[in-house]
Amino acid sequence: MSSLTKRALAVAIAFAALGAGIGAYVAVYLTAAPPPLAAAQTPAGVQLYVATVPAAGPLASHPTWVSYYRVDAQSHHWRHTTTWVVPAHALVHVTIYQYDSSTGLRNPFLSEVAGTVGGVMMLNGKAVRAVSPDAPAHTFAIPQLGVSVPLPGVSDNAKNPCGQAPCSLSNAHETISFTFRAPGRGLYRWQCFVPCAAGFIQGNGGPMQTIGYMGGFIKVV
């Protein structure tokens, strides 16, 4: 066997192993993690209420990690799961209560709203298409669908900040809402693109790499 053939075989084996590892990771998550939650039905589509917090708190296995949560609009009941179920081709209305402070973006491109209906988001009731690159605490992005929404952070001087989940609407927060159209059936990865994992190299470890914290899945059925 020639050296070229050996190298090609080694590369093929490495890619196969990588694919198997990714498949195993997804399979383990979907069977062992908290069950997915369906979006609430509305006359105009479905509604998701979400929150981002600086620390996951006692409801999570890693209390100090930054995290997303699914919340109930009526009772404000918090659930630590980041896999959400929506119907195929439905309009998905998302409201995010953002309790964390600003981190800033390493890529200013992410300060622009993309992939939403009308190309806008509502920031505390005002339609905007972009924010300052220094403003976001996190982003909400579904790369396969071209959806990317910056989530501005609360001021460092804000009164009554929330240190960990669960938070209250009386705590300082920004309210971001937007709508996107769900695609056909499938499993679509969503994530934050702000490296906000304090204590990890370049801010990209821990919660940034763990489903259930700064990323999850949109399950379209």
Mean pLDDT computed over 81-96: 97
- Among residues 58, 61, 57, 9, the alpha carbon closest in space to that of 211 is found at 61
pLDDT above 80 for 34: no
Q: Using alpha carbons, select from 95, 37, 62 the residue that is nearest to residue 208.
A: 62
Statement: residue 121 has pLDDT above 80: yes
Higher pLDDT, 197 or 91: 91
Name the more confident of 201 and 96. Answer: 96
155, 172 contact by CB (below 8 A):
yes
- Answer with the residue of higher pLDDT: 20 or 136: 136
Q: Please indicate whether residue 8 or residue 93 has the higher confidence score (pLDDT).
A: 93
How many CB atoms neighbour CB 144 within 10 A?
Answer: 13
Instruction: Measure the CA–CA gap between 145 and 186, rounded to whole angstroms.
Output: 12
CB of 68 closer than 8 Å to CB of 165: no
Report whether pLDDT(113) > 60: yes
Asked whether the beta carbons of 208 and 192 are under 8 A apart, the reply is yes
Say what percent of the chain tops pLDDT 90. Answer: 69
pLDDT of residue 33: 54
The DSSP bridge pattern shows strands 186-191 and 126-128 to be: unpaired
Express as a percent the part of the chain with pLDDT over 70.
83
CA–CA dist 52, 82 (Å, integer)? 11
Mean pLDDT, all residues of the chain:
87
Q: Strand 121-123 relative to strand 83-86: parallel, antiparallel, unpaired?
A: unpaired
* Per-residue pLDDT band at 79 (split at 50, 70, 90): very high
